[in-house]
A = this chain, B = another copy of it.
Amino acid sequence: MERLPGFRDFYPEPLPHSDVWSADARHYLFETWRAAARHYGFREYDGPPLEPLEMYTMKSGAEIVGQLYNFTDKGDRAVSLRPELTPSLARMVAAHERNYKKPIKWFGLPQLFRYERQQKGRLREHFQFNADILGEADLGADAEMLALAIDALRAFGLTADDFVLRLSSRQAWHDFFHQRHPDSTREYEFYQIIDKLEREAPEESSHKLAALGFSYDEIRAFINAGEPTPELQSIVQNLAARGLAAFVKVDYGVIRGLAYYTGTVFEAFDKKGEFRAIAGGGRYDNLVKLISGGKVDLPALGFGMGDVVLLELLKARKLLPAFGANVDVYCLIEDEALRLESLRLIQHLRAAGLAVEYSFTPLKPDKQFKRALELRAKHTAKVDRSGAAPAVRVKDLRSREEKLVAWDDAVKTLAGEGG
């Protein structure tokens, strides 16, 4: 029985194969993202992994269905495994908007899904750190968003040598388009061409641009000039005040594929250009109104940062910590007559917050000690009945130093040393 193509199993480390995913690394990513979000005052939320299909088609058009993991449920509803969290966020905020002070700063860690028939071998799910600010039109919110994306990456040990945020503006491109083209209905088509510019052959882009009445050269010239708008200047100045100037550069080569962005857009890339985008986002001031059917109208912006590219980058830069069983104490039971008393000790140590392992069955002392070493336990502990009162023989497995401590001092000794 095999798992479905495009899905991942997450195993405890050490991993059985290099192509197998790590549950420990996933938890490390999640808790690092959570901590970064918490420092910025963001609160956690989540929606359902399954939503009405219409929630995605109303936002992105019917053509999105070809990329969705959608199906008809037993109640004949058209539904989809979520491809992104933002529509759920807009729905949730619209439903209980008055309960929360603006600006709303929320984050989520959803698993997201897609299903493209032609994409064999590609993942059909991934996890994403999503952060959004709703109810704030001021550019200070755009800067805050970028600062969080930067600090969420720095929290893994990545530096300005490793990554950069390419900052752009849908507004700048909007103005560019409208100064040269009369037909608003072609605007999104134009953005799609710009979005593919770096990944497509120049001849192909050139051909498509010509059909809209643009020359490839004028587009290149606009991107290369990179003249920041006053809005982008303000954001860069804000980030500079935080000491984050080295992490951002204005770059109109970025425009983002999704239709709903309205202002600032950005993508984070590794500086060596080895990987796909690490993160991306921007301002989407009209989406909440659209999703809520006009009920609630809030300016908004956010970003997503996926687990797959980030893990590849952290591995390549050797920034992933070593994960393991994190056993604090291996309890040796060398005399089966002491098993029940050993269980009492194990319970005592675990209740104090220590991670304790032992053998369920009788095992030769040298095998138990070998297992303690394999597990990289910090200490071994053993009930000692040689004195009047039961005591504990403790061994530090790094220093190999051994001592006998009173029962009531065992926790202090085992938690305090070599932690």
Question: Least Cβ distance of A374 to chain B in Å?
Answer: 7
The docked-state distance in angstroms from the alpha carbon of A144 to that of B339 is 13
Cβ B343 vs Cβ A242 within 8 A:
yes
Set of chain B residues within 8 Å of A244, measured between Cβ atoms: 347
Q: Is A293 an interface residue (CB 8 A)?
A: yes
Cβ B340 vs Cβ A241 within 8 A:
yes
- Count of chain A residues with a beta carbon within 8 Å of a chain B beta carbon: 100
Cβ A111 vs Cβ B49 within 8 A:
yes
Question: Least Cβ distance of A394 to chain B in Å?
Answer: 18
Chain A window 351-382, contacts with chain B (Cβ cutoff 8 Å), 1 for yes, 0 for no: 10111110011000000000100110000000
Cβ A293 vs Cβ B355 within 8 A:
no
Q: Is A8 an interface residue (CB 8 A)?
A: yes
Given A48-B8, A237-B340; A74-B136 close (CB under 8 Å)? no
Set of chain B residues within 8 Å of A111, measured between Cβ atoms: 49
Set of chain B residues within 8 Å of A39, measured between Cβ atoms: 350, 353-356
Q: Is A50 an interface residue (CB 8 A)?
A: yes
**Interface-located stretch among A17-25, A169-177, A216-224, A252-260:** A17-25
Chain A window 111-142, contacts with chain B (Cβ cutoff 8 Å), 1 for yes, 0 for no: 10001010000000100000000001010110
Interface pairs (19), CB distance under 8 Å: A1-B54, A3-B47, A4-B50, A4-B51, A4-B52, A10-B44, A11-B96, A16-B98, A23-B45, A35-B353, A40-B350, A41-B355, A41-B356, A49-B49, A49-B125, A74-B115, A74-B117, A242-B347, A243-B347
Residues of A within 8 A of B (CB): 1-5, 7-12, 14-17, 20, 23-24, 26-27, 35, 38-41, 43-52, 54-55, 58, 69, 71-75, 77, 79, 81, 88, 91-92, 95-96, 98-101, 103, 106, 111, 115, 117, 125, 136, 138, 140-141, 144, 147, 151, 237-238, 241-244, 291-293, 325-327, 339-341, 343-344, 346-347, 350-351, 353-357, 360-361, 371, 374-375
Apart from A4-B77, A71-B72, 18 more pairs, CB < 8 Å? A1-B291, A4-B51, A9-B88, A23-B44, A24-B44, A35-B353, A38-B326, A39-B355, A40-B350, A40-B355, A41-B375, A49-B111, A69-B73, A151-B350, A151-B351, A238-B340, A241-B341, A241-B344
